[in-house]
Structures are given as structure tokens and as C-alpha cells.
A and B are shown apart, each in its own frame.
Chain A
């Protein structure tokens, strides 16, 4: 009889540690591959598992190996059909190596490596964060979170730790020799048995008497030593752990007016999809407010924002006013970190751009932690505008804001491939800006 062991229930993922080490090793290479992928594919695809080629650099294991095509070798092969001694067989053209390995030409190059969604996002959003996450002025005002901190002898009944309590009670009962129920019952049974006998003689009667006294003693003792005593009771103790105030809200402002063609809307949406993913991934407690505008602005939900069509004229300031209204209503700047990202093609009704600039300068920039403006432009326009200040009316107006506030950033996107670099630029981890007091 051999020794059988069923290992199927052993903990899984024994090689997880190895996999993690390997990922770390190949990190740079994988990051590059994923970026390539995202550039060519749809941006929303970031949010999925990915296949990337097996990284070669940093993950090869060199050893001393024989060089192909050098020296004299001998091969023994099976299945001779027509060859006679002395026959000559032409070698395959150079580069193909020796003929015998032609049939197995599957090397590691065409091997794809499957990354999970989590791993992709981790690599993708590495080094990115919202700038200046914790309000300097609010650093002291903290929220509290209960954290387990051992046991206490007092507390509220809801926090009784039954396990602890019973353990204490058990120990005390043993120490004080509280008679167990079983012992009492055994005694009572013994008495009953003796009493049941018809003609008890004196010895038996004496015995019953003694037993009765013993039982009496036991019961008195049981009454005196309670099963659970207040001394036994233990409560779970909680400590209030201070948490830094990290309440944050992101405003996404998008122009959906008719001047925004399919292409512009698509680019803007891609940008926001990326932003949305990033926020969801990095910050578990962040509010996101979606505002879209034509000549009037409105707060919408996520689905409407990304998928529902709408068009009309353009009055950008309506969106800013809407944002301001929402801040006043729901997100007091004292408690919230406020971020905003705006995407537009830069077209605006005349003189409204100046109004936008003054809105920002006057009120919003004071409230916001960070404000990013992304302008979607035509590919041809990139050559005309380049990096000059010249541009649409909104762009020109925002230049003045840009000059005044360090927490304002503006940039242009012309192609899908610009989105990721611009996104990285806007949200690169940076030294804390010290601008609010």
C-alpha cells in the first residue's frame, strides 16, 4: 500500500511570486508594448486584458551555446528511404540554420504574453496622479476611521467579543472548580436510583443522605460561581485613526456643439474615457461630474456623456457657470479638492471667450486645485499654429489665464496618438505646487 496524498486542495498560485518577479523584470518593455497597443487600438480597450509579445530584453538568460554553422558535426537521423553512402544533400540557404530544425520553427518570438486587466492598468497609469491631492489649507482637518486595537474591559454591548469572553469564563470556572452540569446530573441520577429501591437498609439510607448533602453543596457552589461573570467580559476596542482629507471631485466639461465634428467628439471622448479610467483606478473615493454644453450646459450621467448625441450652438461660458453652480451647491471648496478638465474645439460665440477667461480668473481658478484645457484641432492646423499663441478665440483667451495661474494647463490634440502623451503630460507626478495659502 503506497502513500497517497491528495494535493489538489493545496493553495493555488504557487508560482504567483515568480510571475510577479518576472513582470517587474520586464516592466519597461511591457509598458512600451501596452502604449503601442493603446495607440493603435481603441482607448477604452485599456480596460481589458492584453496580449503583448514576450519581452526579450531584460528577460533573456544567456548561457554558453554552440554557434550554428561552425565546425564539423554528425547527425544520426531515422527513416532513411533512398540515400546510399556517399550521397550529398544540399544544405538549405544560409540563415535557415541546419535543416533538421526546420520543422520546429516556433520560437519565442511569436509567443504572446497575456496580462490581466489589473496589470495593464497598473503599468498604464504608472507615475500618474492628480496634482496636489491634499489641500494645503485643510491638512489639519482630518476624518476618522475606526481601526481595531485589541480588547477592552468596558464598552458597548454590540462590541462584545464572544470568543474572548467565553475563554475567560471557562478559565475562571476551571480555576474556581465550578461543578459541571454533568457532575450534578450524575449525582441526582445516583440518588434517584437509590431511592427507587424498595426496601432501603440503613447503609443505603445513610448514603442517600450523604449524597443529598453533597448535591446541595454542589448546587450552592454553582449558584455562587456564575457561568459568565462580569469580570470575564471583553469588548473589541477600536481606535479612531485619522485619515487625511482626500475628498476629490473631477469636473469633465465637454463641448458637444455642432462645430465639433465626429472626429473632434471622438477625440474628446477618448480623452475623457482615459481620464475616467484613470480616476476610477487610482482613487476609490472620487466624485466625477460630467457637464456637456452647446449653447446651454447641463450635468449629465456617465452614459449620456459618453454615448448620447446632442448638438447646437456654442456658448462655452455656460459650462463654466454650471460648474460654478454645482461647486457652490454640493462641493464647498473648503472640504473638497476640485479638479476640472475641459475639452473643446476652441470655437465660441463672439465675446464669450473673454467672459470665460474672466469667469476662470474671477472665481473658478481660486476654487480649483487643477484645471486642464484640451483643445481638439484639425491635423492641418497643427502646422499652422504649431506651438504659437495664435489660435482660436478660446485658446487666445485662455492664454491670459495660463499666464496668471500655475495650476492651469492647456494643450492641443490633433490625432488619436496625441492623446496618451498629452494625458501623461497633464497628469505626470510632479512636485507639489505651492500656490494656495
Chain B
């Protein structure tokens, strides 16, 4: 009898081979699809060495990336801190593509490979395939071929125009990556290479044949009256689609000095920035989903006698260090751990659905006691991002468990004030503030193109909408403006306007700081 039970184990030793990997995968797949009801892209599991993992780190986690010195810098940095033991490497890395590529580290034990397969190949994979942000804003099936195109295209440009010329454009484009995403409308789909080719040809043709002489409207003579000037400005803005929040897009389409290949480089950087934008908005949910999935699966595997107690303990040890949340006064504290928060939120939903307290019934009347934890989770994973998810599902119980408190910090005061703590009066405020802190759009500096006079001095006017009085760091701001000037070709000015009062807090331009 004892023999029969041991033979059910997926693996015995900590060494892995492809046979055990595949057996474990099949067992996990059964649980994930049948019991959890996950829906995933086909999986491609790739075994890599630690050096390759560092490579992947430095090229922002893409399997294919163009060459740039900043990736070299990052690699050196990561390698250094890895060697020194400042941080270990991730056990896995997963790419939002179709098929979904998961990197497994060769150093992992078989138990870890099992955990990681459940985490990445099913947890993250399901999230990528089903979350609305990813569905609407990224093309999982096109990204790899696009990156291949980008890599080749940039290599070709380097050959033709010289490394330094390409580098100069990429440097400037990288500086604007945060301002290179569409936040409110869906970006156009990645087109196939043929279509891109056609679009580029059209662009080149338009450039060759464009002539300002063909403007048919006669120039106004004499003094322009203010009304007319305003109408002109409005007309102008309408033509250029201003204001525009996506600086890279604007420069790509309207820069006065860039050549077609340089525009294409801007486009590549912009596409990559856009591709990663959903990930930044769903950090907590994505990790929470994956962690919840692996936790559920390993427990089920143990229940089915498919893994040994030793293996389970090893996985749980790793699991608990991943979801460890140090307190704010702990030297290890570096912000809220998305794994910890996400995992707790998912478990909380399960608890509320199955074993609600009276408090839960007050706060979550729809789901409390419904018993439909699986459906609730799947729905939440599909239809929320961090901000809305926390706003919807952060329960008072969890606030108490994490002992969250809200601290307000006003620049001109000598002290910070504890605005709310984990009590009846504080729940709402904490939930709201936490949700807002995960709203990437609200937390990033809002900088837009507001005006440009193509026929006058050609100065590009940017406006920084200052929220809560938070200004820009000046040295970086000036350096970034110089990069914009480089791409635009003429002077660039930036005005900081307080969104509440409408006051202009500061103004600067590349003419003053020296382009």
C-alpha cells in the first residue's frame, strides 16, 4: 500500500528533468483548468541560466530587444547587486505574449519549478489573457514579431546612420517614455510589417511633396485683432489635435526636423512604453492573482498526494517570504508589497464569499455568503485594475490585519499628520487613498503639448498640470526639456499650472536653460 501512495508523487528528489517538469505541468493544468476555471494562452516554458536571467532583466524583460547603452548600464548594475547578494534573482519571468513564454531558472529545485509553473504559466498567463486592460491595450500575439522587427530595424539604422545618431534619438525618446502612452484612447493595433512599410512610404511621399505654398487661405493683413488671433489659435490646435498628452506621439507625427527613420525609432519606443502600461496599472492584481493561483494549486496537489510534505514545506517557505510584509518602521520596509497585498485581497474575497461576518455583509452585500468565490475572483481579475479593485474589495478586516494608516505630508509643515487609522472612521479614507496611490495616471506628472505656432517662432509649448502642488525636480526637468528640444528641433517651453487655482507656478524654456 505504501508503495502505491509514493508512486502517486509527481517527483521525489529536488533535481528536475524534463519528464518530471512535464508531469508536474499536466497535474497543475488539470487543477488550474478544471477546478479554478482558468483560461490561458498556450504555454511555452523555457529553461534559462542566471546569466540569461540578468540579460532579460536588463532588457526590460523582453526576449528580444534592440541594443542601447542604458541596457548595458542596467545589466552591470543588476549583475553587481546580484553578485554582492543585495538581491536574488526572480525564480521566473513571464512575458505577455501568445504563446505565453515563461522563463524558469535552471537553479530552481523541482519543487520550485512546480511552484513557479503554477504561478507564472497559469496565474499570470490567465491574467494576461483575461484582464480587460491587456485585452484592449496590448496585442499578445503581435508583440514578439514586432520586437523582432524593431530590433532589426534599429540595427539597420545603426548601420546606415551610425550608432551615435541612433543613440541620440533613442536617448531622447527614452527620456519621454513615461509621457509616451495613450491613457484614454486605445492605441492603434500593431500593424504587420507590410502595412508599416506602406505607411512609411506614404509618409515619405507626403514629406517630399508637401509645400506650404498650397495653403489657400489668404493671409490676414494689418493688425490682428485679439478675437481673430484666438480663433487662429483654436483652429491651429484643432488641426494638430491639441492638447496632446502623448508627447512621443506628437513629436513623431509633428516634429519639424526628424527624418522618417527617426520617427520610426520614436514609434518603437512608444509602442514598448504602451505595451508595458497595463502591467504598471495592475501590479497588485497581477501578482495577487498569480500568488493566489499557485497557493491554491500547491495545496490541491498536496491534497491529492501528488507532492510530498517536504516539497510542500519548501514551497510554503518560499511562498511566505514572497508575501512577507514588513511594518513601516522595519528596516526592511520599502513600501507595500504587491504580492502580500494582492494575495491577501484574493484570499479575502474567498473568505467573504464563504464565511462572511456581519461586517462583511454590510460592506459587500452582493458577494458576502454567496459561496461563489471562484466566479467572483474570475470576474474581478477580468474587469479591474489595481485602483478600482482596491476601491471595490479592500475590506475593513484587511485594513485591520495590515494595520494600515494614512499619513498626510504637507511640504510646508514640520510634521506629518496621521489622518486615519484602522478604525470605523478611517476605513473609507484609507481605502480611497490606497486606491488612488495605485492610479498610475493620477500619480504621474501630467505634461501635455498645448500649443505650437508652426508659422511663427515654432516654439513648442508644454503645460505641466500641477496636482497637489507637487512640482518637478528641476535638474531632471531641464535635462528632459533639452531632449524634447532635440526631437522637436526648435525651442521648447514648459509652464507649470496649478490645476486647482489655475495659477502659473513656474515657467521655463530651453532658450533660458541653454539647449
Q: Could you tell me the distance in whole angstroms from the C-beta of B450 to the nearest C-beta in chain A?
A: 16
**A85 vs B418: C-alpha distance in the bound complex, in angstroms?**
5
24 contacts between A and B (CB under 8 A): A1-B25, A2-B25, A2-B43, A21-B163, A54-B73, A54-B77, A59-B69, A64-B179, A64-B447, A64-B464, A64-B480, A65-B445, A65-B477, A66-B473, A69-B411, A72-B408, A72-B469, A73-B410, A74-B419, A79-B327, A80-B328, A80-B403, A88-B417, A103-B334
Asked if B147 is at the interface (CB within 8 A of a chain A CB), the reply is no
Per-residue interface assignment for chain A, residues 63 to 91, with 1 indicating a CB less than 8 Å from any chain B CB and 0 otherwise: 11111111111111111110111111111
Contact residues in A for B327 (Cβ distance below 8 Å): 78-79, 81
A78 interface neighbour in B44, B402, B414, Cβ under 8 Å = B402
A91 touches B416 (CB 8 A): yes
Of residues A85, A90, A112, which shows the largest number of chain B Cβ atoms within 10 Å of its Cβ? A85
Contact residues in A for B333 (Cβ distance below 8 Å): 79, 100, 103
Per-residue interface assignment for chain B, residues 457 to 484, with 1 indicating a CB less than 8 Å from any chain A CB and 0 otherwise: 0000000101111111111110110010
Tell whether A18 pairs with B69 under 8 Å between CB atoms, given A73-B470, A77-B328: yes
- List the B residue with the shortest CB-CB distance to A106: B86
A89 touches B418 (CB 8 A): yes
B421 interface neighbour in A6, A8, A10, A84, Cβ under 8 Å = A84
A75 touches B69 (CB 8 A): no
Q: Could you tell me the distance in whole angstroms from the C-beta of A2 to the nearest C-beta in chain B?
A: 4
Contact residues in B for A85 (Cβ distance below 8 Å): 418-421, 423, 425-426
A3 touches B45 (CB 8 A): yes
Contact residues in B for A430 (Cβ distance below 8 Å): none
A100 touches B328 (CB 8 A): yes
**A7 vs B49: C-alpha distance in the bound complex, in angstroms?**
8
Judged by DSSP, the binding face of B is: mixed
Per-residue interface assignment for chain A, residues 17 to 35, with 1 indicating a CB less than 8 Å from any chain B CB and 0 otherwise: 1111111110000000000
A62 touches B480 (CB 8 A): yes
Further pairs besides A22-B70, A62-B479: 19, Cβ < 8 Å: A2-B25, A5-B45, A18-B75, A20-B72, A59-B69, A63-B178, A64-B179, A64-B480, A66-B471, A66-B472, A77-B404, A78-B327, A79-B330, A80-B403, A80-B421, A86-B418, A88-B418, A91-B413, A103-B332
A74 interface neighbour in B44, B77, B163, B407, Cβ under 8 Å = B407
Quick one: which of A86-105 are within 8 Å of B by CB? 86-91, 98-100, 103-104
Contact residues in B for A21 (Cβ distance below 8 Å): 67-69, 72, 163, 167
B106 touches A8 (CB 8 A): yes
Tell whether A79 pairs with B326 under 8 Å between CB atoms, given A70-B469, A89-B416: yes
B175 touches A62 (CB 8 A): yes
**A18 vs B70: C-alpha distance in the bound complex, in angstroms?**
7
**A366 vs B401: C-alpha distance in the bound complex, in angstroms?**
90
Tell whether A64 pairs with B445 under 8 Å between CB atoms, given A4-B47, A5-B45: yes
Q: Could you tell me the distance in whole angstroms from the C-beta of A218 to the nearest C-beta in chain B?
A: 51
Per-residue interface assignment for chain B, residues 34 to 77, with 1 indicating a CB less than 8 Å from any chain A CB and 0 otherwise: 00000000111111110110110011000000011111110111
